[in-house]
Amino acid sequence: MVANILDAIEDVVRPGVPTMRFEELARDMCAQYKVKPAFLGYCGYPFALCCSVNEEVVHGFPSTRLLQEGDIVSIDMGVVYEGFVGDAARTFAVGEVSDEAKRLMRVTEDALYAGIAEAHAGNDVYAIGAAVQRMVEAAGFNVVRRFVGHGVGAKMHEKPEVPNFKPAMRGLPLQNGMVIAIEPMVTVGTYEVDILEDNWTAVTRDRKPAAHYEHSIAITHDGPRILSISDRGRPERALMVDRSNNNG
């Protein structure tokens, strides 16, 4: 459902659209699915989704702001269905964007999949962030430290934390049956962020652009299973995550 909502939003992203349109769409689809948006009211968060434009990294508010050609917009959405949370995010291009913005989006999504490939039982949870960081820095970009991925289940944020960088210490081993949200936030410039006056919107300190991709992943005997693939799907991506790709 979360992935289908992101697909529906992707279809209406274009120059001139107010970002509040995405919020309305998300709420309408939640009503149709008879599910609750997971973010609304969470720690006082006032919307169903997060909408972060250009230098906004995460937790931006939808608003009357009109998207412009060349913007990139990150949409983060979660729902609660039968007591369990699903959480996913993607960054979309608004019309034609710069080559740098395209590369930022591609590298961030590729880094997400590099992290997913590490999400198998017995592996250190920090291997995920190590793979993400390696790919991102090899491309000349940076990973945000301030926010991390997380276990996801009956609550949106559960243990373990899933950083997008390699911490100095060892982490705990991943186990079959765990469900985690992997969500690299990648910046063109500094990875330092500021929080705006609204107490939510995280922006890059140098105000250069950022991208954000997130999937909810189950650790299974067959390896990582992406739970937030839409009905429309991305078969070429789903196929990336098979056993041949994650043998350690």
CB nearer to ligand MF3: pick between 36 and 245: 36
Least distance from ligand MF3 to the Cβ atom of residue 44, Å: 9
Q: What is the C-alpha to C-alpha distance for residues 44 and 60, in angstroms, rounded to an integer?
A: 14
Asked if 56 touches ligand MF3 (CB under 6 A), the answer is no
Asked if 181 touches Co ion (CB under 5 A), the answer is yes
DSSP code per residue over 207-242: ---EEE-BEEEEEETTEEEES---SS--HHHHHHSS
Cα distances (Å, whole numbers) of residue 52 to 84, 206, 245: 25, 16, 32
The number of residues that bind ligand MF3 (CB under 6 A) is 13
> Which range of residues in 43-51, 130-138, 201-209, 231-239 is near ligand MF3 by CB under 6 A?
43-51
CB nearer to ligand MF3: pick between 29 and 162: 162
The string over 167-194, giving b where at least 16 C-beta atoms fall within 10 Å of a residue's C-beta and e elsewhere, is eeeebeebeeebbbbbbbbbbbeebebe
Asked if 87 touches Co ion (CB under 5 A), the answer is yes
Q: Give me the 3-42 binding string for ligand MF3, x by CB under 6 A, dash otherwise.
A: ------------------------------------x--x
What residue ranges bind Co ion (CB under 5 A)?
Answer: 87, 181, 183
